[in-house]
Structure 1
Amino acid sequence: MALGGALRDADWLDARRVRAYAAMVGVASLGILWFAWRDATGATGSDFLAFWGAAKSVMAGDPAAAYDLAVQERIQTGTGSHGWFAFVNPPPFLLAVAPFGWLPYPSGWIAWVALTYALWAWAGVRAFPRLWPLVLTYPGALIAATHGQNGLLTGALLIAAISLLARSCPLLSGAAIGALVIKPHLALLLPFWLLGGRCWRTILAAGAALVALLLASLLAFGTATMQAYTTSWGASAVLIAQGGPDFFLRMSTYYSQLRVHFGEPVAIGGGAVIALGMIGMALQLFRRFGGDARASGAAVLAATALAPPYLFNYDLPFLIFPTLWLVEQGLARGFRPYEKLLLVALWFAPYATRAAAFGIGANLMPLAAFLLLALIWTRAPLPFGNSSRSVPTDCREPG
C-alpha cells in the first residue's frame, strides 16, 4: 500500500525535488549538446547544414540556389560532412537564416541554437514564470537543439501565439501565427481553433502577417527564388515515397507509425481520420473550456502534435505549454491519481520516445501526445474563477 500510495499521489515529488532533478537534467543536457556540436561539425553533420547552406547562397547573391540540390551538396559537404540536406522551407524562412551565412559553419551552429533557444525559453518562461526550471531544462527543447533544427523557433511562435491571445493581445498573437508560414503544417489547427472562438482580429492579423512575410521575401529574394521553392516539393515527395522504416521511425505521427507497421494505404486513411478528428476538436475547444484562451490553447497545441502527417520529435518544443499547463492546474486544483508521474513521463516524452524508437521498433510519441490531450480535455470545464481573465477581447464564447 505504501508503494501504491507513493506512485498514486507522488507527494514526495515536491517543488524542492523538482528543482533539483531539473538541475540534473540541465547539467546532463550541456554534455549532450557538446557531443551534438562535435558530431554536427564532423563527418556526421546536422540538419542545420540545410539552413547554413541556404544562407550561404543568399549571402553569395543567389538565393534561388538555396533550393538547388547540386549547389547545396557542394556547399554542405565542403564543411567536411559526409551527408547533406535539402532545404525545403518556404522563402520567408530565408529572412531568418540569411545572417548565419556570414558565420563559419561551426560557430553558425552555436549561434543558431543559442538564439533560437533563447527565444523559445523567453516565450516559455513568460508563459510559466513560476515553473521556469522546467522550461529551461525541457528535453523537448534539447532534441531540437541537438539537431540544429527550427523547432525552437516555431515553438516560440506557437507558445507566443497562445500566451498573447490569453493576454488580450489579438493582433500580436495573429502576427506570431502568420509567421508560421516558415513551417505552415504546424499551424494546421490554429485557424479552426480561432474560428471556433470567433477571434476575428487574430485571424485577420495572421493573414496580414503571412502576406507581409511573403511579400518581404519576394522583394528580398525575387520571383526566381519563389519558383525555385516549388522544386523542393518534389524532393519532399521523393523522401516520403522512398523512405524506409528508419526514416519513418524518426517521425512522430500516427501516419508514420501506421506506415511502418501496416503500409501506406492504412497510413493515409488512418492519418486522415485523425487529422479530421483533430480539426473537429479544434473547432470546439473554446466552447469546451468556457472561452478560456489559455486552456483551449493548451489543448490545441497538444492536438497539433497529432494532426499533421509529417512531424518529427525535434518539432515538439511547443509541447512545453500544454505539459506545464497541466502542472499549473495540478498546483491550483490538486493533482489527480498518478498525474504527477504521468506528467514527468510526458515532460521527457519528446526526447525519450525518439531515443527509444529504433530499439523498440516504434515511435511512441503519438501515444504520448494523445495522453497529453486527454489529460487536458478532462480538466474541463474550469470550475474556479480564473477563466474570465483569459478570454481575449476579440473572442466570444460561441452561443
Structure 2
Amino acid sequence: MNAVLTLIERRYPLFYDLGTKRLRLVLAFFAALYLGVAGVMWAELIVTSQDLFTRAGPIIGGDFIVFQHAAERAGDPDMAALYEMKSLKAELEARYPGHGEMNFGWMYPPTMFLLVAPFGDAPYLAAYGAWIGAFGAILLIVLYRLWADRFAMFFAVSAPPFFQAVITGQNGLLTAALLALAGGFAEKRPVVAGVAAGLLTVKPQLGVLVPFAFAAAGCWRAIFWAGATALALAALSVAAFGPDNWRAFIDGLLAHGGRMTNPGFPFEKLVTPYSFAAMLGAPARVAGGVQAAATLMLAAYVAFIWRRTKDADLRLATLSTAALMATPYAFYYEFVIALPAIFVIARRAVETGWLKGEKLSLIGLWLLTLQAPGDDVVPSLSVCALSAFAAFAIVARRALPAGGV
C-alpha cells in the first residue's frame, strides 16, 4: 500500500495532495455539491407544486401529512380511529381528493399526540417548517455539544440521512437527538439522559436497548428519570385524550405486525436484519427468527460495552448504531439516528489518530447512504440494511477493544 501511495505521489502529485493533505476540503466540496444539487432539486419540486403536491406525486414533506392530520384530530371523540389504516386512508383521501391512494399508518403510542398537537393549528407548510426547524435545531445543538467544529457540523448537515429526514417530514431528527442525549450523558447528566430516554417512548421501538444499557452501567438515576418521564407522558395522554387510544394503539400495532409479513411490504426501505433477510427472499418466519436473534445479541453487546467502559462517546455510538437494528421496523429516514455516533467516532479519530482504513470506511458509508432506499427487487442485497451494518461495524471496531476484546 505504501508503495502504491509513493508511486501516486511521484507521478500524480496533485491527486496525491488532494487525497491526503487537502482531503478535508475535497470532502467538504463534494458534500456541498450534494447538498446544493439535492437542495435545488427539492426546491424546484416545492416551487412547481400545486396544492401542496409535487409533480412527482407525493405531498411536500411526505409523512408529515400524517403528523399534522393527527395533530388536528387530537382531542376529537373518535381520534382512536386513526389507528385503523382503512379509516386513516379514507380521512386523508377525503381531505386531499384527486391525489391517489393515501396508504399511511399511525402506529405511534398516544403520547405522540402530545408532541404533534402544537403543530395542528398552523397552515400545512408553516407547520412542516416549524416541525423540521425545531427538531433540526435540537439535533444540531446536541451535535455541537459533542464536537464544536464547523467542518464537522457542515458534514453533519450535508449528510444524506439528514437531508432524507428533512424531506420525508419524519421525526428522525428529534429521535436522533434524544438517543444521543440518553447514550452520551447517562453518567454525567443522568437527569438529562433519563428525561431524553423517557421522551423517546413516543417511538418506543428505537429505545428498546436503553434499559439494557442503563442497567448494565448502573445508571440508576437515569433509569429513574426515564421511567418517571415515560409514566408522566402516559398519564398525561390518558388525562388529555382518554384511555381508548391505548387500546386502539395496541390493536393497530398487532395488525401492522401482520402486514409486515406480506410480500408487498416495502422491505427495501428498512434498515434492519429483518429486512435484510426478507430482501434475500427469506420467508417471514425465517426473517423474524433472524431479527429475534439479532436483537438478543445486540442487547448483550450493548450491555457488555456499557458495563466494561465509561467512555461516553463509545457508549453513545454503541447504543445509537445498535438501536437501529434492534427493531424489525426502522426505515431509511431513521438512519439519521446513527449520525451522532459517526460524529463522535470521527472526532475521536481526529483527536487520537485514525485507525487503518477508517477514513475510507466513513467515506464509503456516506456513499452507501446516498443510494437509499435502494432497489425493491427480491432477492437482492438491501442497501439500507447494509448501511446500518456498516455504521455498526465502524463503531464496534473502536468499542470492542475499549471493552477489553
TM-score of the two chains, using structure 1 as the length reference: 0.85
* 1:217 aligned onto 2:237: yes
Change (3 A) 1:242 1:376: closer
* 1:332 aligned onto 2:351: yes
Q: Which residue of structure 2 aligns with residue 179 of structure 1?
A: 199
Q: Which residue of structure 2 aligns with residue 386 of structure 1?
A: none
What SS does structure 2 have at the residue aligned with 1:372? helix
1:346 Cα deviation from its structure 2 partner: 1.8
Does structure 2 retain, via aligned residues, the 8 Å contact 1:301–1:319? Answer: yes
* 1:275 aligned onto 2:295: yes
Q: Which residue of structure 2 aligns with residue 392 of structure 1?
A: none
Does structure 2 retain, via aligned residues, the 8 Å contact 1:36–1:147? Answer: no
Q: Which residue of structure 2 aligns with residue 41 of structure 1?
A: 53
1:83 corresponds, among 92, 95, 101, to: 101
Paired AA for residue 211 in structure 1: L
Q: Which residue of structure 2 aligns with residue 345 of structure 1?
A: 364
1:4 Cα deviation from its structure 2 partner: 7.6
Does structure 1 retain, via aligned residues, the 8 Å contact 2:268–2:383? Answer: no
Change (3 A) 1:152 1:343: same
Q: Which residue of structure 2 aligns with residue 365 of structure 1?
A: 384
* 1:26 aligned onto 2:66: no
Structure 1: which 4+ aligned runs deviate by more than 6 Å? Answer: 3-7
Greater RCO, CA 8 A, separation 6+: 1
Q: Which residue of structure 1 aligns with residue 267 of structure 2?
A: 248
Residues in 1 aligned to 2:375 and 2:358: alpha-carbon distance in whole angstroms? 23
1:333 Cα deviation from its structure 2 partner: 2.0
1:191 Cα deviation from its structure 2 partner: 1.0
1:232 Cα deviation from its structure 2 partner: 1.6
Residues in 2 aligned to 1:280 and 1:184: alpha-carbon distance in whole angstroms? 19
Q: Which residue of structure 1 aligns with residue 69 of structure 2?
A: 53
Residues in 2 aligned to 1:381 and 1:280: alpha-carbon distance in whole angstroms? 13
Does structure 2 retain, via aligned residues, the 8 Å contact 1:55–1:100? Answer: yes
Superposition map of 1:1-399 within 5 A: 1-2=4-5, 10-12=19-21, 14-34=23-43, 37=46, 38=49, 41-42=53-54, 43-45=57-59, 46-58=62-74, 62-69=78-85, 71-77=87-93, 78-80=95-97, 81-84=99-102, 85-130=104-149, 131-165=152-186, 168-244=188-264, 247-260=266-279, 261-288=281-308, 290-355=309-374, 361-380=380-399
Task: Give deviations 1:105-161, integer Å, cap 9, x for gaps.
Answer: 343333322322222222222222212111222211111222111111211211222
Q: Which residue of structure 1 aligns with residue 12 of structure 2?
A: none
Does structure 1 retain, via aligned residues, the 8 Å contact 2:31–2:158? Answer: yes
Task: Give deviations 1:333-374, integer Å, cap 9, x for gaps.
Answer: 222332212102223444424245659943233333333333
CA root-mean-square deviation = 2.9
Residues in 2 aligned to 1:355 and 1:272: alpha-carbon distance in whole angstroms? 24
Does structure 1 retain, via aligned residues, the 8 Å contact 2:183–2:319? Answer: no
Task: Give deviations 1:248-281, integer Å, cap 9, x for gaps.
Answer: 1111111112123222222122111111111110
Residues in 2 aligned to 1:196 and 1:35: alpha-carbon distance in whole angstroms? 49
TM-score of the two chains, using structure 2 as the length reference: 0.84
Residues in 2 aligned to 1:206 and 1:126: alpha-carbon distance in whole angstroms? 21
Residues in 1 aligned to 2:245 and 2:399: alpha-carbon distance in whole angstroms? 47
Q: Which residue of structure 2 aligns with residue 391 of structure 1?
A: none
Of the structure 1 ranges 192-201 and 358-367, higher mean CA displacement relative to structure 2 is found in 358-367
Provide the aligned length of Structure 1 versus Structure 2: 381
What SS does structure 2 have at the residue aligned with 1:41? coil
Residues in 1 aligned to 2:42 and 2:184: alpha-carbon distance in whole angstroms? 29
Runs of at least 5 residues in structure 1 that lack an aligned partner in the other structure: 384-396
Give % identity: 26
Paired AA for residue 321 in structure 1: P
Paired AA for residue 161 in structure 1: A
Of the structure 1 ranges 261-270 and 342-351, higher mean CA displacement relative to structure 2 is found in 342-351
Residues in 2 aligned to 1:237 and 1:375: alpha-carbon distance in whole angstroms? 31
Residues in 2 aligned to 1:226 and 1:126: alpha-carbon distance in whole angstroms? 36
Paired AA for residue 179 in structure 2: L
What SS does structure 2 have at the residue aligned with 1:379? helix
Residues in 2 aligned to 1:237 and 1:359: alpha-carbon distance in whole angstroms? 20
What SS does structure 2 have at the residue aligned with 1:89? coil
Change (3 A) 1:355 1:262: closer
Residues in 2 aligned to 1:362 and 1:111: alpha-carbon distance in whole angstroms? 37
Does structure 2 retain, via aligned residues, the 8 Å contact 1:36–1:146? Answer: no
Does structure 1 retain, via aligned residues, the 8 Å contact 2:317–2:395? Answer: yes
What SS does structure 2 have at the residue aligned with 1:242? coil
1:10 Cα deviation from its structure 2 partner: 4.5
